[in-house]
Amino acid sequence: MLIWEKIAPRTKSMFRTLPAQLLVCALALCAAAPLLADEATAGDEATAADQATAPDGAGGDQAAAAQSLPRWRVGLSVGALTHESLETMLWNAQPPSLHSSYLAQLDGVYTWHRFQTLPLDLEVQGGVAHRFGQDHQNEVDLISVVRWKMFPWNDEVYTNFRFGFLGGSYVSSISTWERQDSGTNEGSKFLQLLIAEFTFAPNKNSGYEGFVGLHHRSGIFGLINGVSGGSNYLMVGIRFRAD
């Protein structure tokens, strides 16, 4: 009982944070993945049977509906720098403070694979950005992204979660904050890129989606040019289908 009394407040505090809640949701979704795959397989078999017995043209309509999902998207976003580290933002329940360094970005997203048995897409995203306010740099990014598409409220607001950590980011010069936070007092023009986004749209075939997310550059704990820090921008934007 004494041990539980000590750890219970910490446990409750941890599960109040958004990252912990997302982790629980992710674990639940992973646990449900085999069931989803079975249901999707059964659904595919039923669809094939329906197409075999349906009047001419019915199967073509279903195929056309599947092809109507966007393959290309183009987005515009703007964000503000926060000095909190990634770890602090993940586990701190308080909203991060923002500073007068801003990022405006134009990105293009291509969906190169859609899983048939899971609500999951694999995407490639490239972008160009400009920092303004206290900083004045240009930035070029390229990253692979996973898009999770199943949430229980999607009939009301179609919501996706996008996450990418296999990416690179190159800036024209090193900002004061990145130099200060680098651990080397020098920084690096090239760093690893991580993004995390929630997107919102009226439905899955919508011509646009709004999004909020995180744009994170870092040296992966010193792996890139000895850089242990980086920069975090909190972003908001809109993305349109381009096909």
Q: How far apart are CA 210 and CA 171, in angstroms?
A: 26
Burial of 35 (0-12, 13-18, 19+ CB in 10 A): exposed
Angle at 147 (CA atoms; ends 96, 211), nearest 5 degrees: 45
CB 211 within 8 A of CB 234: no
Name the pLDDT band for 71 (thresholds 50, 70, 90). Answer: very high
pLDDT > 70 fraction of the chain, expressed in percent and rounded: 70
User: Is the pLDDT score of 52 beyond 90?
Assistant: no
- pLDDT tens-digit profile of 19-49? 444 444 444 444 444 433 344 444 444 444 4
Name the pLDDT band for 172 (thresholds 50, 70, 90). Answer: very high
Nearest Cα to 191, choosing from 227, 155, 156?
A: 227
- pLDDT tens-digit profile of 142-166? 999 999 999 999 999 999 999 999 9
| Predicted local distance difference test score (pLDDT) of residue 66 | 52
What phi and psi values does residue 113 have, to the nearest 5 degrees?
-155, 135
Nearest Cα to 158, choosing from 209, 121, 213, 201?
A: 201
Name the pLDDT band for 93 (thresholds 50, 70, 90). Answer: low
| Predicted local distance difference test score (pLDDT) of residue 243 | 80
The position carrying tokens 């720098």 is: 81
Per-residue three-class SS string for the chain: CHHHHHHHHHHHHHCCCHHHHHHHHHHHHHHHHHHHHHHHHHHHHHHHHHHHHCCCCHHHHHHHHHHCCCCEEEEEEEEEEECCCHHHHHHCCCCCCCCCEEEEEEEEEEEEEECCCCCEEEEEEEEEEEEEECCCCEEEEEEEEEEECCCCCCCCCEEEEEEEEEEEEEECCCCHHHHHHCCCCCCCCEEEEEEEEEEEECCCCCCEEEEEEEEEEECCCCCCCCCCCEEEEEEEEEEEECC
| Predicted local distance difference test score (pLDDT) of residue 7 | 40
| Predicted local distance difference test score (pLDDT) of residue 156 | 96
Assigned CATH topology for domain 71-241: Porin (2.40.160)
User: Is the pLDDT score of 1 beyond 80?
Assistant: no
| Predicted local distance difference test score (pLDDT) of residue 67 | 59
> What residue ranges do the domains of the chain occupy?
2-66, 71-241
- pLDDT tens-digit profile of 176-210? 999 999 999 999 999 999 999 999 999 999 999 99
